[in-house]
Structure 1
């Protein structure tokens, strides 16, 4: 296997339901599959110190983190916990309303610049994680293009499935466009079916009407151009490929194991097995 291959991590939000039942068992199984790293999204009764020790005892490392999520009001907490975890990359991100209009994008960029400056002073790289709404267009331009110009010093954890915006964008082209600023890539696959939802007044919940049709798929079995995405990355910048699956119609462990096998068997990434 080539020494230029990037190591594979897994975003633990993928296995949040399983982690709530038995987090140590989740971590043990990921190590058995062969993942080199994990990206936490909650510690499930571990302290950050004990979580790191448990992960490293299993032969993995903490690649990066979504816990705590970087915000304007918690930068010192982020710096402290990342020091305990031994990571220098932390995620942050925003919802639809922060990217609704040009003025919203400008306000968001101003806030991100402030967060980034504080984290950078603490030795951390802020890697913003996107969803599909940042890759919609406004005035004929992709919103993230505008945002990236306003925040030239900010890096990204580019979610390659959401960047494709359900097929409206070419994911490999998005990686080429943002790859020089993307030390992390979320590797995700699916059917490019946009979720349709409605508000249920009885339960006060938003319900997805086409959940099965829109459900995500193991890496390599959907419509995202995984091989093109990895070929398009900047190998001098990207450090980790992070598998993530927000939802599934099938068993989540089957999904993460299938995703791992696809990346390894196609010579696209490096694992421990």
Structure 2
């Protein structure tokens, strides 16, 4: 997640906020064909960061349905899980995976803040980033395959994947600074109020628990999955802000992958 949204065009008013917020979210987080936003400002960016789960939902449903069909055809669970994760990577241009790899490379390259940010800015994947991608992808695929074995597991998996985008609200919550004065991190840093952040996670938890119950999953496990993901994101964010001084677009991608991995892992318990 490294692209910076364009600045507001003169004359763009509050009336374009909902459309622009959804357009910015869909255009940044997915490959869905989306018209460019007519304005990008703090309000638009804040909305984009809290509607991530909504714009991700159709991509997640299609990817998980394909994985379900692969599993129904008799493929091993791991194969079905890998297909699903592969489709999710395509549906998101692997933007979050790229952010995870760059963040791990930067954090592992040096304890010096500027050196770490420089490594992240270059964007080429080093050994630590590659290992992180392999471990996270395989862990997600194994968990996904286990969930897809259940009759309605693909719906449950899709909800969990979409819900992981609530991590964006945490990363762009008011009070969290940008690590450098350019890029997506600077454009969205602090754009989400504490109230909207809290509502985002409460709605996420309610949807995950309700959908889990509807497809026969334990509401307790569903609730713990959301709580665990939220806590993991908070811990990772605190560590990164301490190391880098704030967020970048890559960090936001890493937070999403953290939330997705933790929630999928807990959901298989």
- Bin the TM-score by the shorter chain: under 0.3
Structure with a larger share of its residues in helix: 2
Higher relative contact order (CA 8 A, sep 6+): 2
Structure with a larger share of its residues in strand: 1
